[in-house]
Amino acid sequence: MAGQVHPLPGGNHDPVGPEPPERDDLWRLYELHVNEYRHQVQLNTSRYQWYTTLDVALITVGTGLLRITAKNDGRTLTALVFATGTILACFTAIATARQVGYQHAARSQALKVAAALGVTDWAIATTPGWRNSPNRWWTKVRTVNYALLAVLGAINLGGLIYVLAT
C-alpha cells in the first residue's frame, strides 16, 4: 500500500537537493573558516610556548636540585622533576600533532569554500599547505618544534638517568 509522501515541516521541498548557498553566504563561510584556522594556529602556538617554557623551567629546577642536594637528600624529588620534564616533552609532541590535525581540517574547509567561490588562485596562500605546493619536511615549523621537543626530552631523560645512576 503506497501512501502519499509528505515533506517535513520547514524542510526543503525540492526533491533534487538543497539550493546552493548564495555567494555572500559563501564569503561569510570562507571568512569563518579562515578565522577558525587562524584560531587553531594561535592556540597551537600558545600551547607549545607554555609547554616548552614549563619544560625548560623543569630542567632548570632539576639542575638546581642536583647542585644543592647532598648525596641522597632530594634525589627522589630531582628524579621526579626530570621524569615530569621527559613526560611533558612527549605529551607536548602528541598535543602538537593533534592540534595540527585541527589546523589542517580548518584549512581544508576554507579551501573547499574558496573552490566553490572560484577564487582558489586568489585565496589565502601564506604557507605551502594553503597553496597545495610541495614542502620539504625540514623546512616546516612543526619539524623544528619536534626537534626542540626531542632535545628537551633528551635533556630531561639524561638528567633522570644521571640521578638514578649516581
Tell me how many degrees the CA angle 119-124-92 measures, rounded to the nearest 5.
Answer: 140
Note down pLDDT in tens along the chain; length 166 residues.
Answer: 555 655 555 555 555 666 667 888 888 988 998 899 889 889 999 999 999 999 999 999 999 998 887 666 788 889 999 999 999 999 999 999 999 888 889 888 888 888 888 887 776 666 666 656 666 655 678 888 999 999 999 999 999 999 998 8
Three cell numbers at 97? Answer: 600533532
Q: Is 73 within 8 Å of 65 (Cβ atoms)?
A: no
Which residue's entry shows cell 517535513?
Answer: 8
Could you state, in order of their start, the residue ranges of all structural domains in the chain? 23-122+136-165
Alpha helix segments (H runs only) across 22-140: 23-68, 75-117, 128-131
* pTM for the whole structure: 0.71
**Rounded Cα distance, 166 and 164, in Å:** 6
